[in-house]
Amino acid sequence: MVKRLGQTLVTLLFLTLMVFALARLTGDPTPLVLPTEATAQDAQFFRHQYGLDRSLPVQYLIFLGNVSRGDFGVSFRYREPAIGFVMAGLGPTLRLTGLAMLLAVVVGLGLGILAAVSRNVWIDRLVNLYASFGQAVPSFWLGLMLVTLFSINLPWLPSSGHGTAGHYVLPVITLSVFASASITRLTRANMAEAMQSDFVHMERVLGLPEASIVLRHALRNASLPIVTYLGLQFGLLLGGAIVTERVFAWPGLGQIIVDAILHRDYPVIQATVLVTAVMFMLINLAVDVTCMVLDPRLRV
Amino acid sequence: MSAIEQEAGGRGRPPMLALACCVLLVIVAVLGDIATPYAKDFADLSATLAPPFWQDGGSLAHLLGTDTLGRDLLSRLIAGTRISLLTAGAAIFVAGTIGVLLGLLAGYAGGLVDAIVMRAVDAFLALPFILMALALVAALGSGVENMILVMIVTNWARYARLVRSEVLSIKGRDFVTLARIAGLAPHLIAFRHILPNALNSITVLALLDIGRAIILESSLSFLGLGIQPPEVSWGLMLADGKAYMSFAWWITTLPGLTIVATVMAFNALGDWLKLRFDPRAAL
Amino acid sequence: MLRVSESWWARRTLFGHGVTWAIAALVAVGSPTSVAQAQPKSTLTVALGADLVSVDPHKLVSGIDHSFFANVFESLFANDARGNLVPALAESVSVSADGLVHDFKLRPNVKWHNGDAFTADDVRFSWQRSIDPEIKNPRASVVAAKIRDVEIVDPLRVRLHLKQPDASLHENMVTYFYLAPKKLIERVGNDEFGKAPVGTGPFRFVERKPREFTRLAAFEGHWGRVPKVAEVVLKVVVDDQTRMAQIQTGESDIVTSVPLVFGSRMQGARDFTIIRVPSFGNAFMVINNRGNNPDLKKPDVRRALNMAINRETLAKALTFGFATVHESPCTPGMIGCDVKFTDPYKYDPAAARALLTKAGFDFNRPIKVVGPATGRVTQGKETVEGVAQFLNAVGVKTTIEILEYGTWATTAFAKEKNPEIDVYLLAAPDANRDSGPRQLRTLKTGEAMSFYSDASLDQELTKLGTMPTLTAYEEQSRKVFRLIHDQSAMIPLWAYDSVYAVRSNVKYEPFRYITWPILWYAEKAPK
């Protein structure tokens, strides 16, 4: 356990270094931030104000110090604390990702169990087709197609923006498809394996109702790898959210980070990436700990 | 007998449709611009936004229609195949090589080296790859070479992790110990004995990664940060067509379908291979 | 909301009441955004394609900020519906013979939104604030920096002493010299003022949620233009599809910057009208004659490039008829744009190629064409690709680079221009009929956006700033345009229109030449 925590901390440190380097790599923000009439003196002043005129290692240490206190600096572009933007975007993104995850789990589990349990070859084939398709389709294209179908041709749903329940439908569906495809596969495979185990065999012999066998035993055995996978999946969903958000003009982290990158707003870039990564790592940590708790064999 | 068991029974034969698609795609990619009915950036300004031939206003001159500058969609799809497969393939190859080498190093050397490499791997895997890709593109600029670079950076970590765990599992085995006692140099052991055993998993991962890489590249091109004109990429075509979706659905729909078909084909191949090498790893 | 009194069973039973209110509550909760829900009567919703960057009138950063300033602030002059200059906060002006002293009689009984009276003090204060280095006004040079002093004669009379005569001073004042309240700003400071700006315009600022919307309310105490709607909401809807969907559903009453393809395909819709007005927006390609390509120093080569492009066809394909092709980088209607050319460029690929050969053009060396990604600039990418295509057709090789907006801006404004760039797409919306400042910025040696250098052109451009009268200014402008055309200093493409979409129950005719919505005369009938 302790070892695991230690690993996480070191990884975190690595992350800060990477993020720092990445943000600096995006280029010099000075010309983008200052108006065109700015003089060399203005540029100098701006650089000094944000510590950009110090050497890189010093900048990194300052950055590290600030970050550990939760200070991500002030956005170059809007002159407001960078963390504010991240927090503002976090809500919508988490809502989108959370709902997408939920939908993915429901659909994935449902289809996976169906495919594993059903004797009908066609159901299995269809589910497989869905899983293959879902893992192959780029989310932004799917989003555009759904918009064409349900916003333009059939004016049922709003094509972008944020506000009503209706606004959630298309983005959540779009984002969930890849995840639900993966979960479907995972569930199907593990369920099929579990269904063939001796345990289940025995329960059948004992005459227990099929539904109960499926739900209580097979599912529970299959759930561990699925839960593990969900942690990983969250990171993928976050990544997918970034592109999906652009398609639907969703005011979340995706929009914030892309804008920040286009305008070389270091503080916001760093804040967004770090917060996202930390969240992801914490979730993985939580998943690992949960698994360790659930399954003593994993306690290394 | 469930479908899984059926599948396991037929595992000798690769999925023919997928295989045919992959072969076709590779051929098209190799042929490149030779195979296009029109030059990929030939703009026929008198025939802009023409629909595919089966729709009203379409013609056989432009089978799949044209875009806003009157460029033939079919030609551009064919031209895009080369870019997409090239960037994906090159990136996976190099990323794989780097990842494998680092994984071998980490797994075999152990200790501090292992810890450092694995923490780096964790860090790279902690970031959603599109985030990293975006930042890299902003730093390096867009274009084919930079695309490949970006995809290399975002992909190497999985190979490193995979190979390292393979190394760890093989390291303790008898034949390795014997080789070591026999005085075989470590790197020879690594390449001669450990690597071939890991090759299967690496190949499977690579095949499955091609699809991911294609989607990553098209995502970046869609955002305007990837392939630039006059090069053609499916993702770029999608972005081009976004503004005209209400009036010219084919500009967005057809490239998207191409991406889906390509990725599905490679995934199917990869999955079959995975099942073939290890029937128990049924994911 | 349901009309509770009408439904009989609601009147009868408490249960009915409860159900009705529950349903009403559900409807309210499920309704579109709270902005739309809690509106008082006659709120005009205007969808903008981008968010405001600044609400401080002396910090004009982006053209879209005018959507705010033009409604909330005023200057000494304004434009009317035809684009002509009319008095606003100044009733009249008399200019001295040497053009150096402008004597303004200010309008009486003008109030700031917070109740203070507008006086000459405010004019002087606004001038000082505009050139204050702390404020860093990006547009100080256009008007404020040309003023040597502002003399207060009496509370309603002010004299501007200029450093040198400026024929287009009044024109430029409309958008570059907004007036700000002295008493208020001295009391609350710049930061507070930036959060709650106060002007004299027909609308007053109510609230702002960055990246979402800005709300304005009618200013009942306005001196002459009390708005006909009670409220205006400037909504930010960046996505084209959504913006157009909103005009179709009625979520927005007016949509600005209608994407051109929608504008052309949605004519004749039932619930809304597509309105097209000429604007001062121009698309053109600047040529880098100071870069690495020596051929671009030859006027014949530059002329040949102009002849190789079929502007009409390209404009039709890309702008769907919402642009006017012109051989000068100006819009018909602008100062000096009525110039006539004795040898217009004619689309003639064969002649272009012959001219290139004659001039010794190196056909093996590609020309690098750079442009902005489509988004901020209409059809930016497609224009670059189209132009490159035409150049290819006459044998000129091209390499294309499409830059995202941030990089494009940096490249355009870089102190040291990139010598690799040969031809560069710019789309510039001017704020008024005077394109002089922009020509200077893009053509004079060493200026902010200039990739070009020519001594004789520099001379004529400099003279623009010394013209004493408007007539002289016009004549000099024509001279400049003729010289640009003779030298083929750039590749002018077209002047594009502003395209609006307006709901049928809204009475609104956009001002000519103004690229942003001026809203005080808009009327909205209940649906």
Mean pLDDT calculated for residue range A23-38: 62
Mean pLDDT calculated for residue range C455-482: 87
C385 neighbourhood in chain B, CB within 8 Å: 41, 43, 69, 229-230
Mean pLDDT calculated for residue range A250-258: 82
What is the pLDDT, as a whole number, of residue B178? 77
pLDDT tens digit sequence for C183-242? 999 999 988 898 899 999 999 999 998 878 999 999 999 998 899 999 999 998 877 777
Model confidence at B283, in pLDDT bands (50, 70, 90)?
Answer: very low
DSSP state of B191: I
What is the pLDDT, as a whole number, of residue A26? 63
Q: How far from the centroid of its chain's Cα atoms is residue B189's Cα?
A: 30
Q: Looking at chain B, which residue has its C-alpha nearest residue C387?
A: B43
Of A23, A137, A242, the CB nearest to B130: A242
Contact C385 B230 (CB under 8 A): yes
Shortest Cα distance, chain B CAs vs residue C94, angstroms: 51
Contact A159 C241 (CB under 8 A): yes
pLDDT tens digit sequence for C375-432? 667 788 889 999 998 999 999 999 888 877 767 777 777 777 788 888 888 877 777 7
What is the pLDDT, as a whole number, of residue C110? 93
Neighbours of chain C (3+ CB pairs under 8 A): A, B
Shortest Cα distance, chain C CAs vs residue B61, angstroms: 19
Contact B259 A141 (CB under 8 A): yes
Distance between CA atoms of A52 and C153, rounded to whole angstroms?
48
What is the pLDDT, as a whole number, of residue B94? 93
Distance between CA atoms of C73 and C97, rounded to whole angstroms?
31
C316 neighbourhood in chain B, CB within 8 Å: 45
Closest Cα partner for A190 from A164, A228, A246?
A228
Q: Looking at chain B, which residue has its C-alpha nearest residue C398?
A: B230
B247 touches chain C (CB under 8 A): yes
Distance between CA atoms of A252 and A257, rounded to whole angstroms?
9
Model confidence at A167, in pLDDT bands (50, 70, 90)?
Answer: confident
Quote the strand ranges of C462-517, DSSP E: 490-503, 506-507
CB C67 within 8 A of CB C48: yes
B68 neighbourhood in chain C, CB within 8 Å: 261, 317-318, 382
Mean pLDDT over all residues of chain B?
82
What is the pLDDT, as a whole number, of residue B281? 55
**Choice between C2 and A168, residue whose per-residue pLDDT is larger:** A168
Between the alpha carbon of residue C235 and those of residues B66, C110, C238, the distances in Å are 34, 29, 9
C357, pLDDT greater than 50 = yes
A25 neighbourhood in chain B, CB within 8 Å: 135-136, 138-140
Of C136, C239, C242, the CB nearest to A35: C136
Q: Looking at chain B, which residue has its C-alpha nearest residue C406?
A: B138
Distance between CA atoms of C474 and C480, rounded to whole angstroms?
10
B192 touches chain A (CB under 8 A): no
**Choice between B98 and B139, residue whose per-residue pLDDT is larger:** B98
Contact A161 C237 (CB under 8 A): yes
What is the pLDDT, as a whole number, of residue C426? 81
What is the pLDDT, as a whole number, of residue A297? 65
Between the alpha carbon of residue C471 and those of residues C50, C99, C477, the distances in Å are 37, 13, 10
Shortest Cα distance, chain C CAs vs residue A97, angstroms: 21
Give the sign of the dihedral formed by CA A273, CA A274, CA A277, CA A283.
negative
Shortest Cα distance, chain A CAs vs residue B275, angstroms: 12
C406 neighbourhood in chain A, CB within 8 Å: 32, 262-264
Model confidence at B11, in pLDDT bands (50, 70, 90)?
Answer: low
Q: Which two tokens stand for residue B145?
A: 């070479």
Cβ neighbours of residue B130 closer than 8 Å, sequence gap 6 or more: A239, A240, A242, A243, B216, B219, B220
Closest Cα partner for C48 from C294, C242, C321?
C242
Contact C138 A35 (CB under 8 A): yes
Contact C261 B70 (CB under 8 A): no
Give the A-side interface with C, CB within 8 Å.
Answer: 31-32, 35-38, 42, 78, 147, 151-152, 155, 158-161, 163-165, 248-249, 251, 262-264
Contact B69 C386 (CB under 8 A): yes
Mean pLDDT calculated for residue range A60-75: 78
Pairing relation of β-strands C490-503 and C203-209? unpaired
**Choice between C39 and C448, residue whose per-residue pLDDT is larger:** C448
Q: Worst-scoring range by mean pLDDT, A65-74, C12-21, C52-61? A: C12-21
C104, pLDDT greater than 60 = yes
Of B43, B224, B244, the CB nearest to C386: B43
Mean pLDDT calculated for residue range A130-144: 90
Distance between CA atoms of C200 and C117, rounded to whole angstroms?
10
Shortest Cα distance, chain C CAs vs residue B228, angstroms: 7
C370, pLDDT greater than 80 = yes
Residue located via tokens 């408007």: C470
Contact C265 B246 (CB under 8 A): yes
Distance between CA atoms of A240 and A175, rounded to whole angstroms?
7
Mean pLDDT calculated for residue range C450-462: 89
Q: Worst-scoring range by mean pLDDT, A188-197, B18-27, C494-503? A: A188-197
CB B218 within 8 A of CB B210: no
Q: Looking at chain B, which residue has its C-alpha nearest residue C383?
A: B69
C461 touches chain B (CB under 8 A): no
B263, pLDDT greater than 90 = yes
Contact C136 A32 (CB under 8 A): no
Mean pLDDT calculated for residue range C320-338: 86
Give the sign of the dihedral formed by CA C40, CA C46, CA C47, CA C52.
negative
* Mutation choice for C interface testing from A30, A34, A36, A140 by most C CBs within 10 A: A36
Using a pLDDT cut of 70, give the percent of chain C over it.
Answer: 91
CB C8 within 8 A of CB C20: no
Q: DSSP string covering A157-198, please?
A: S-SS-SSSHHHHHHHHHHHHHHHHHHHHHHHHHHHHHHHTSH
pTM of whole model > 0.90? no
What is the pLDDT, as a whole number, of residue C154? 92
Q: Looking at chain B, which residue has its C-alpha nearest residue A283?
A: B126
Model confidence at A159, in pLDDT bands (50, 70, 90)?
Answer: low
Q: Worst-scoring range by mean pLDDT, A290-299, C89-98, C335-344, C499-508? A: A290-299
Distance between CA atoms of B74 and C47, rounded to whole angstroms?
37
Residue B169 CB neighbour total at 10 angstroms: 13
Distance between CA atoms of A92 and B48, rounded to whole angstroms?
39
The amino acid at residue B209 is D
pLDDT tens digit sequence for A80-128? 788 888 888 888 888 898 899 999 989 998 898 888 888 788 898 899 8
Phi, psi of C110 (to 5 degrees): -95, 135
Does the predicted interface ipTM exceed a cut of 0.95?
Answer: no
* Mutation choice for B interface testing from A118, A130, A135, A275 by most B CBs within 10 A: A135
Distance between CA atoms of B101 and B112, rounded to whole angstroms?
17
C391 touches chain B (CB under 8 A): no
Contact A116 B245 (CB under 8 A): no
C413 neighbourhood in chain A, CB within 8 Å: 31, 36
B146 neighbourhood in chain A, CB within 8 Å: none
B139 touches chain C (CB under 8 A): no
B119 neighbourhood in chain A, CB within 8 Å: 7, 10-11, 14
C23, pLDDT greater than 70 = no
Model confidence at C33, in pLDDT bands (50, 70, 90)?
Answer: very low
Q: Looking at chain C, which residue has its C-alpha nearest residue B137?
A: C404
C289, pLDDT greater than 70 = yes
- Cross-strand bridge partners of residue C496: C281, C323
What is the pLDDT, as a whole number, of residue A35? 56
**Choice between C441 and A102, residue whose per-residue pLDDT is larger:** A102
Q: Looking at chain B, which residue has its C-alpha nearest residue C241?
A: B243
A48, pLDDT greater than 80 = no
Distance between CA atoms of A250 and A237, rounded to whole angstroms?
15
Contact A144 B242 (CB under 8 A): yes
Of A11, A192, A262, the CB nearest to B122: A11
The tally of CA atoms less than 13 A away on the side-chain side of residue A237 is 34
pLDDT tens digit sequence for C133-169? 777 777 777 788 889 999 999 999 999 999 888 888 8
B112 touches chain A (CB under 8 A): no
Of A32, A35, A158, the CB nearest to C410: A32
Distance between CA atoms of A19 and A22, rounded to whole angstroms?
5
Shortest Cα distance, chain C CAs vs residue A182, angstroms: 31
Q: DSSP string covering A81-130, please?
A: BHHHHHHHHHHHHHHHHHHHHHHHHHHHHHHHHHHHH---HHHHHHHHHH
C502, pLDDT greater than 90 = yes
Closest Cα partner for C263 from C283, C249, C243, C236?
C243
Q: Worst-scoring range by mean pLDDT, A23-27, C11-15, C68-72? A: C11-15
Q: Which two tokens stand for residue C113?
A: 């939104």
Residue located via tokens 């569906």: A173
Distance between CA atoms of C502 and C286, rounded to whole angstroms?
35
